[in-house]
Amino acid sequence: MKTMFKKPGPSPTPPLERTAHIRFHGLCAGYPGRPVLHQVSAEVPALATTALVGPNGSGKSTLLGVLAGVIRPTSGDLHRNGDRPPAFVPQRGAVGDTLPLTVRETVEMGRWGERGPWRRLARQDHAIVDAALDRLGIRDLTSRQLGELSGGQRQRALIAQGLAQGSDLLLLDEPTTGLDPEARERIGALLKDLVADGVTVVQATHDLEAARTADACLLLRDGRLAGQGHPDQVLTTSALARIWQPL
């Protein structure tokens, strides 16, 4: 899905006044017999990092799945700017440790959207995979099995798979959960570099420290939008207290 938006004017603008990469209005979505999102309307600015924040069950992963196209909304409008499908990086726990996949095979799966799962990769595909491995600093791990990796190494392999898709929209579900501070810092720096290179990044996260470094924030509670804007404006002490108090 895509639509055309006006280009920003020559003067600098605040994050949420930038050209929107994604706009959605009145989104409702969920699972059979279990609605999750209720009339959510917001926008994701282009060439920026946006954090989806909220407690468990607030609808972060469901919204991310809708943006990725893996969950179909039951109602509402969704418009995305860009010519390529989004790259979706799921939670590490969604990828089984016992899958007999090497790091290179995992990253090569990012090219399946172009070649299909059963066709041999072309020279250009291998070059893209190599570049993603180098970007994440895991070229030396290419022959290792996913199940042999540390949490940080495995997360970098999954992000490299996302980069190999060559999209200008990268969606990540809890990319730093369970990682040590050094791994979290490394991934945070990478995401900022990707934005500088022309990629729009959206991450669902419980990590308020990571969320505060984003350019924009969508705060969710009970499947509804509780706030949007710059993290300094949205992630206030009073707002967070309301969000995490019992329903």
pLDDT tens track for 24-63:
999 999 999 999 999 999 999 999 999 999 999 999 999 9
Q: Is 60 part of a structural domain of the chain?
A: no
Instruction: Please tell me the total count of domains within the chain.
Output: 1
Q: Which domain holds residue 115?
A: 94-166
Cα 43 to Cα 26, 46, 55, 66, 155: the distances in Å are: 12, 9, 20, 13, 27
Mean pLDDT of all residues in 149-159: 90
Q: Which residue in this structure is represented by tokens 């509780």?
A: 226
How many Å apart are CA 1 and CA 36, to the nearest integer?
A: 22
Sign of CA dihedral 183, 55, 194, 117: positive
pLDDT band at residue 6 using 50, 70 and 90 as cut-offs:
very low
Comparing 187 with 82, which gets the higher pLDDT?
Answer: 187
Q: Is 3 part of a structural domain of the chain?
A: no
Q: Is 232 part of a structural domain of the chain?
A: no
E-state strands within 63-153: 75-80, 87-89
Q: Mean pLDDT in the chain?
A: 88
How many Å apart are CA 237 and CA 208, to the nearest integer?
A: 11
Q: Is 221 part of a structural domain of the chain?
A: no
Q: Is 106 part of a structural domain of the chain?
A: yes
Q: Is 138 part of a structural domain of the chain?
A: yes
Range from 11-15, 35-39, 98-102, 134-138 carrying the lowest mean pLDDT: 11-15
The pTM score is 0.87
How many Å apart are CA 202 and CA 155, to the nearest integer?
A: 16
Q: Is 99 part of a structural domain of the chain?
A: yes
Q: Is 139 part of a structural domain of the chain?
A: yes
